[in-house]
Amino acid sequence: MKSKKRERRKAKSGLKKRKYTRLDVVIFIILTLGAVVIIVPFWNVLVVSFATQKEYADNPLMLFPGKPTLDAYAYLFKDGKIWQGYINTFKLLIMGLPLSVFLTTTMAYGLSRKYFPGKKVIMYLVVFTMIFNGGIVPMYLVMRQLGLTGSLWAVTFSTCFSVFNMILMINYFQSIPDSLIESARLDGAGEWKILFRIVLPLSKPIMATVTLFYGVSIWNEWYDAMIFIRDPQKLPLQNVLRSIIQETEIATSATGSIAAMGAAQFDDGIKMAAVFLTMVPIMCFYPFLQKYFTKGIMVGAVKM
């Protein structure tokens, strides 16, 4: 596998020696344009969040606000809900991430074993839940019996397992040579020891990928929180953002603080400032973590 990679790189460097052709230019332009189409909407979000309403209405095409204002951010800061949302989302991450990774790893490792009685049944039962579910009220009833409604744990428990991530992991675990595991077993290692001492150290890429996938999906979670959370102080970030974007609330709570600021309210600015604040962490981390996202997926795909 490694030698192949080297060969490939050689081939590539062979290609590199050639001059840039018209085809290269075309490809460069197409991809750059594509990137611009992706970036511009983000940039526009920033512009709207920093512009005054009048300025933006006069010139929606501007690339930089002439008189940038922090009013929208000041409003959100004063309002405070978005920070509370941040805290709650971090709580969800701290509670959910270890649990999700632990459950997925153990399930995936168990199901990646070649044979044991009941393996097929378990696999079918697990996959069945990808297609069928009992519905929201039965789920709610279960949470209620467990006394979890209204608590962030309800959100954590209802969303902490993704069969998709488990399948990714099973695929990876199965690619680990059996001989390694067998020899460890002959040395008298138990399954837990094999999992933690042998399999996991070899599975860092997939662990990173799955952890990140879970992290992102927890960050983006809103539906279950909408159903299960009752205390506004406990709503995660996405729900706060939703209520700001849909203006379900801004009118009543805004009156006070906006009036105190003496500025005309600019709804779009506040909305876009909220959008920006909600995605800024992903934006900051993603470029550095991107390779872990892609690696795991690639590992799965190469097996085809």
Partner 1 sequence: MRRLGKEIWKNRAVYIILLPGLVWFFVFAYMPMGGLTLAFKEFNASMGIWGSPWVGFENFRDLFHDPAFMESVWRTLAINIGKLIVTFPVPVVLALLFNELRMRRYSKVLQTVFTFPNFLSWVITSGIIINILSNTGLVNGIFQAMGFDAVNFLGSEKMFIPMLYLSEIWKTAGWSAIIYMASITGIDAEQYEAAQLDGASRFQMMRYITLPSIASTIMVMFILAAGNLMTSSFDQVFNLSNAATRDAAEVLDMYIYRITFQSSTDFSFSTAASLFRSVLNMILLLAADWGAKRMGGTGLFGQRGGGKHEKQKA
Partner 2 sequence: MKGYRKWTKRAVSLGLAALLTLSASGCSGGGDPDGGSSSGGGDEKLTISFGALDNLTEEQWGTEFHQFFMDKFNIEWDFNYIEWASWDEMMRVWINSGDLPDVSIWNYNYTDAENYSKQGLLYKFPDDWKERWPNAAMAYEASPLNTQLEEKFGGTYVMLRPTYVYHAQTDPIVNQIGVIGIRKDWAEAVGFEIKDAYTVDEILEFARLVKEQDPGNLGSSLIPICFDPANALTCFVSSNSRHSRIETAFYKDENGEYQWGPADESVLETLKIYQQAYREGLLDPEFYLLNDNDKDKFYINGTVAVYHMGGVAEFRQTVDTEMRNNLRLNSDDVVHEAILLGNDEKYHNIILGSNYWSSLIFSPDISEENFERIMDLIDWTCTEEGQTICNMGIEGVDWEYQDGEAVSILPEDTSLLDKYGPRVESVYILEDDFAVVNPSIKEEYRNRMNGLAQLKLDHGEGKYDEIDWDQEFHVSRAKDRVQFNYGEEYANLIVQEGDLETNWNSWVEDKMPLVQEYLDELNSTY
- Residue 252: contacted member of partner 1, partner 2, none (CB under 5 to 8 Å, by partner type): partner 2
Residue 243 interacting with partner 2 (CB under 8 A) = yes
- DSSP 8-state secondary structure symbol assigned to residue 179: H
CB of 260 vs partner 1, minimal distance in Å: 26
Candidates 113, 207, 199; CA nearest to 168 is 207
183 binds, among partner 2, partner 1, none (CB under 5 to 8 A by kind): none
Contacting partner 1 (CB under 8 A), which of 82, 92, 111, 270? 111
Distance CA 193, CA 176 (A): 16
Contact 159, 224 (CB under 8 A): yes
Instruction: List the single partner that 258 binds among partner 2, partner 1, none, CB under 5 to 8 Å by kind.
Output: partner 2
Nearest Cα to Cα of residue 74 among 278, 260, 236: 260
Q: Minimal distance in Å, beta carbon 45 to partner 2? A: 18
Position 249 contacts partner 1 (CB under 8 A) = no
**Per-position x/- string for 202-241, each x denoting binding to partner 2 as judged by CB under 8 A, each - no binding:** ------------------------xx--xxxx--------
133 scored as a contact of partner 2 (CB under 8 A)? no
137 binds partner 2 (CB under 8 A): yes
Q: Is 16 in the site for partner 1 (CB under 8 A)?
A: yes
Q: Is 81 in the site for partner 1 (CB under 8 A)?
A: no
Q: Which does 264 bind (CB under 5 to 8 A by kind): partner 1, partner 2, none?
A: partner 2
Cβ pair 159, 217 in contact under 8 A? yes
Three-class SS of residue 119? helix
- Site residues for partner 1, 214-243, by CB under 8 A, read 216-217, 219-220, 222-223, 238, 241-242
Determine the length of the chain.
304
Interface with partner 2 includes 78 (CB under 8 A)?
no
Cα dist from 207 to 116, 134, 178, whole Å: 24, 30, 19
d(CA 189, CA 110): 15
Query: Smallest gap, in angstroms, from Cβ of residue 245 to partner 2?
Result: 10
As measured in angstroms, the least distance from the Cβ of 53 to partner 2 is 7
Q: What is the CA radius of gyration of the chain?
A: 25
Tell me how far, at minimum, the Cβ of 74 lies from partner 2, in Å.
15
The DSSP result for 91-118, as a single string, is: HHHHHHHHHHHHHHHHHHHHHHSS--TT
According to the binding rule CB under 8 A, does residue 284 interact with partner 1? no
Distance of CA 49 to the CA centre of its chain: 24
Tell me, letter by letter, the H, E, C secondary structure of 270-284. HHHHHHHHHHHHHHH
Query: Which does residue 226 bind out of partner 1, partner 2, none, counting CB within 5 to 8 angstroms by kind?
Result: partner 2
Which of these, 272, 207, 268, 274, lies nearest to 240 by C-alpha position? 274
CA–CA distance, 214 with 33 (Å, rounded to integer): 31
Binding site for partner 2 (CB under 8 A): 53-54, 57-58, 80, 136-137, 140-141, 144, 149-150, 226-227, 230-233, 243, 246-253, 255-256, 258-260, 262-265
